[in-house]
Chains A and B, each alone.
Chain A
């Protein structure tokens, strides 16, 4: 053997050793502490209403299918196989063998049927629409679930991976004190029994929520042992941004969510911190009321040329620099680039003042007008956006008044259709474009973000897409919807941003998927 070959051999042995080390690098044990800006409210998958619950529920409650790590598809969960019949009207799922709830009782088809029936009941919560296509859930045998649909629904498979379709123990839930579903759910949510990788240990409201590993969880780690790697996860509520960051910097907690964009650069430069920017479905925009009149006053925003002029006059790159400190990217459609069937690249309206001025001159308001925007009091991001737009739009003759109000006040004006403009943001709950499109563009849902905007073509395309099982045809429908909406819609397209999470360097395997869910099942703490 020549020395040369020896070196090669040594190198391959070293490489092999390296890869083995990588494969067994996952370490077990330890509790990960995670700082959140706000506490959870109600740990019931069906009756909850807020992201503070949605984003952590999947750690406690498992679903038949799971969202993939990129948030764009589904993978096996409590069900190992799934198929949709030719006519799109029957979904058949095969249950995983030997699965149990966190209290050790087996998960039966009866639990599955009951859970899906509860989740789709129109009287329960606000998420039942996701499962509205179901006409009946049955179990032909102990290992099979058959779901009959009243119409084909291309968004149905992803819907089975959404938090509200979680499988819960029927007997335990029904044994709870109380008369109504809400009363039973309230009692149940105090000590929930699910089948996620973790289970609730204790909850001091407003302070700490402790999860411990579920010994009966079905998934296996890279080392062949059951997941999760961690013994537990402790959520600490730290509302103040500066304090949350200080606690990560001082090493008291292992991670912190929602780092303000202004601090991202500083934490990226900190050698002790791993500043993660997880891809998200979050888009920021300005919603415009396009009704010809608002409370009797003439509304210039009803003129599509005015809206396009405003879009061209808004310098997205400048706003991204000022508000997100360069973290964001311009939106190429009203839906985020991480949403399935998204189309477009780069800003829909690149900054072009001359074009904006020309459009204004050709509109019904060549001399400009005064307008008002509602932003959240205390939100630095929204204030930054509004201030920048105020300056940018003054160049096309728009005199913008900024009104800072609290969320409930703004929601009321929004729902009544009496607002003129408001800052808005959105994240998807499901790996499918239909949810966001239903709210943003399809007029029967909420009048296209309560803007009063309506396009018959968009409404027809959306309705057709709801039962279109041919992927290519559905993609065409959504491409056309995006084309119309992006060019004429009731919206100023701004930017999309990732989820900024600060972690200690030894935290590995944690993921916040684009839908927002915090996934701790494969997280572990390296001990060097």
Chain B
């Protein structure tokens, strides 16, 4: 099977997955107690107002009818309008999701940059002081709650040392990067710990493999062995883990975005669930599902390149 063929098949598999997610999210938001009108109007709602608004939103129609209408509009790329903000959901996603994507991308980059070298050091100095220090340090990082780490970073590097802004998103691309650095570090902490541990054991496994011993016996230089044989093979399992972690990272962004006042999609999702803003919850779920699926496909491609057995 060639790569394009492999890719096509993977993309085709996305369709039923997305359809399934569509049904689940559509039903789930409606299973939650309460309705959009009373969630928005709150305690002051008069029965007549609630009924009128739910009727205007078409929520008095039978569920299958609502779902069919929803499906038809999704097929044409229309995700409806937000109930609380009135504007199109696509506009909201377009405004907010890239921020979360940038944050996730930065966090993933930081996690990799930190985890990969340290994993090598830990693996090659197995059970010595460096290994213990690195593993111990990550253990502490992994066990601290995200919002707490975030607040400590904000207080120390933001309010006290003034190296970074105390939350917010800034104006312009470089300013965005500057504002997102602390949240990205916060978000990267647990991922880098997981990646480091996984990669360390993978490297240890590979270093002891026969083909590495053989390469060494051939008299290849240590650096060549390390990059061509050890890293490439050790990365295969870590890459799969990394791909899966992107979904978790997007989830973790919700808390990070709240603490750091980053106007991303995570925060929007939480507000919309509380506000029973069905179209926004549905639209965001679809967008996130596509995003995660695309990440999986990209991971598969990378894996296929690293390990030709995958496409075979």
Interface residues of chain A, those whose CB is within 8 Å of chain B, are 38, 41-42, 47, 49-50, 123, 126, 182, 185-186, 189-190, 204-207, 236-240, 242-244, 246-247, 249-250, 252, 405-409, 411-415, 424, 426, 439, 445-446, 449
Q: Are A412 and B35 in contact (CB under 8 A)?
A: yes
Contact A247 B166 (CB under 8 A): yes
Q: Could you tell me if A409 and B34 are in contact, using CB atoms closer than 8 angstroms?
A: yes
B43 within 8 A of A: yes
Pairs A–B under 8 Å by Cβ, sample size 7: A186-B81, A238-B261, A242-B151, A243-B167, A244-B261, A250-B158, A446-B47
Given A41-B85, A252-B166, 5 more pairs with CB closer than 8 A: A204-B169, A246-B155, A408-B274, A408-B275, A412-B34
Q: Which residues on the B side are within 8 Å of A236 (C-beta)?
A: 168, 261
The residue in chain A whose Cβ has the minimal distance to the Cβ of B255 is A240
Residues of chain B within 8 A of A406, CB atoms compared: 34, 274
Contact B263 A415 (CB under 8 A): no
- Counting from the closest, the 5 A-B pairs by CB-CB distance are A408-B34, A206-B263, A207-B263, A408-B39, A409-B33
Q: In angstroms, how far is the closest chain A Cβ from the Cβ of B207? A: 45
Q: Does B136 contact A (CB under 8 A)?
A: no
A contact residues around B165 at 8 Å (CB): 252
**0/1 string, B261-282, CB within 8 A of A gives 1:** 1011001100100111000000
Least distance between A40 CB and chain B CB atoms (Å): 9
Shortest beta-carbon distance from B36 to chain A in Å: 8
* A112 CA / B167 CA spacing, docked (Å): 43
**Complex Cα–Cα for A238 and B46 (A):** 31
B98 contacts the other chain (CB 8 A): no
Bound: A408/B34 CA distance, A: 5
Q: What's the nearest-Cβ distance from chain B to residue A451, in Å?
A: 12
**Known contacts A409-B33, A424-B43; A240 and B259 CB within 8 A of each other:** yes
Measured between alpha carbons, how far is A207 from B267 in the docked complex, in Å? Answer: 11
Q: Are B169 and A207 in contact (CB under 8 A)?
A: yes
Q: Name B259's closest neighbour in chain A (CB-CB).
A: A240
Contact of B41 among A49, A185, A206, A252 (CB under 8 A): A49
Q: Is B49 among interface residues, defined by CB-CB distance under 8 A?
A: yes
What is the bound-complex CA distance between A327 and B213, given in angstroms? 73
Q: Is the CB–CB distance between A411 and B34 below 8 Å? A: yes
The answer to the question of B184 belonging to the interface, with a C-beta cut-off of 8 Å to chain A, is no
A-facing residues in B70-110 (Cβ within 8 Å): 81, 84-87, 92, 95-96
A426 contacts across to B, CB distance below 8 A: 43
Which residues of chain B are near A449, meaning CB under 8 Å?
A: 43
Contact in complex: A126, B46 (CB < 8 Å): yes
Question: Which residues in chain B, 144-162, are within 8 Å of chain A measured between CB atoms?
Answer: 147, 151, 154-155, 158-159, 162
Task: Kindly provide the distance from the CB of A270 to the nearest chain B CB, expressed in whole angstroms.
Answer: 12
Contact in complex: A243, B41 (CB < 8 Å): no
Q: Of A123, A205, A250, A412, which contacts B166 at CB under 8 A?
A: A250
In the assembled complex, the CB of B54 is this many whole angstroms from the nearest CB of chain A, namely 12
Let me know if B95 and A204 touch, CB within 8 A. yes
Q: How near does chain B come to A95, taking the closest CB pair, in angstroms?
A: 31
A182 CA to B81 CA, complexed, in Å = 12
User: Is B38's beta carbon under 8 Å from chain A?
Assistant: yes
CB of B44 within 8 A of CB of A240, answer no
B264 to chain A: closest CB distance in Å?
Answer: 8
Q: Which residue, B81, B166, B271, has most C-beta atoms of chain A within 10 A?
A: B166
Separation of A414 and B84 alpha carbons in the complex (Å): 21
Q: What are the residues of chain A within 8 A of B134 when measuring CB–CB?
A: none
Contact check: which of B46, B154, B267 meets A446 at CB < 8 Å?
Answer: B46
| CB contact under 8 A between A246 and B158, given known A205-B85, A239-B267, A407-B42 | yes
B303 to A: closest C-beta gap in Å = 36
- B81: min CB distance to chain A, Å: 8
Asked if B40 and A50 sit within 8 Å, CB to CB, the answer is yes
Contact between chains at A238 and B167 (CB < 8 Å): yes
Determine the chain A residues whose CB is within 8 A of the CB of B159 once the complex forms.
Answer: 246, 249-250
State whether the Cβ of B112 lies closer than 8 Å to any Cβ in chain A: no
